[in-house]
Structure 1
């Protein structure tokens, strides 16, 4: 009887310790989840990285006649009925391709208020045609113009530029995520040079 009683006592104690351990573990998980939430709120979103060289935000983008892949010509800049997003890419840039669905999705979400122009350079037009066909880009203007990239200060890819209806440069920078792309539109809507500038003003 004594042996059985000791076994029961040991079982009760072990169960009690197990429950205590479980409660402590749950409390630890809850505390960790709370800290993660606080950290998420404190970490500021990162906008597109704007290079120092090139045109300044707020400058007028003088109209530039550029050739399209289709053989037509397109006037980039100047007064339009919509904002213009220029996405600079290259058929040999893996990140450019991986971000394409995000670019197209964002343009669809923005509706008719935003026009997308795909921009690249290079002499082999067949490569660009194959790239446009492969990625279903035929419905969007696809221009081949080195002068356009130079004017916008493109130094790395993928790169994006946002011009408002009045032909004013509102945002530009290196992009590699949806957050970077959305930061261009947000910078325009908030009337700041970049999302980083806005966040700096808010924290200051």
Structure 2
């Protein structure tokens, strides 16, 4: 409730004037839209060249027969599925590329969580499917997800190209030695981080298609 009050204080002000409430809604919406536009521009300015470099390496991996594996928790699990779907089924004249989200098999996820622990749900799948030359792409708003850290460690052991998307300053993900690419969104808002990360992985997809 307190979070809702912070996000939408005008709904809890006791003001019964519908028009004034709608004015506040419009103002709040405009502020959030302007905030994400500015954030996306700052990420592009900071990481444009690195995004191009990362996409070129992804294109090289795909040319050599590599596959993309994506993973994340919560809302980031949905984003991971979106990334895989984007690469696998881009539509139009774009080239479909082999991609799989590691968050979609409920039986595997729950079996590993129940029998071993939630921290291994992605690492074990990479251990079974991943091989040198494949790509591991993980998304987290905090950068502190234990199962993403374990997955990247497993991916690096297997010689995979590793790509992380995180918020704030990258959290524990930024401390992983040997992570090939890390793109951070400098915001404390989970919502803004996820919106900007969507732009980042769409840019990676477009740049990869161009490189191919």
Bin of the TM-score, shorter chain as denominator length: 0.3 to 0.5
Q: Which has the higher contact order (CA 8 A, sep 6+)?
A: 1
Report the structure, 1 or 2, having the larger strand content.
1
Q: Which structure is larger by alpha-carbon Rg, 1 or 2?
A: 1
Structure-1-length-normalised TM-score: 0.33
Q: How does the TM-score come out when normalised to structure 2?
A: 0.32
Higher helix residue share: 2
